Amino acid sequence: MLGLAAPLAKHIRSRLTAQRINNSTVRARITIFPIAKQGNVFESKKRSIAKAASYRFFGSMVTASIAYFLTSKWEVALGIGLVDGVAKMAGYFLHERVWAHIKWGAPKRPDYEI
Residue 92 has pLDDT above 70, yes or no: yes
The per-residue pLDDT for range 69-87, each reduced to its tens digit, is: 999 999 999 999 999 999 9
- Domain ranges in the chain are 8-99
Q: Report how far residue 35's alpha carbon sits from residue 45's, in angstroms, rounded to the nearest whole number.
A: 8
Query: Model confidence over 18-29: pLDDT tens digits?
Result: 555 666 655 666
User: pTM here?
Assistant: 0.53
Say if CB 33 and CB 13 are below 8 A apart. Answer: yes
Burial letters 68-90, b for 16+ CB under 10 A, else e: beeeeeeeebeebbeebbeeeee
- Is residue 81 within 8 A of residue 71, CB to CB? The reply is no
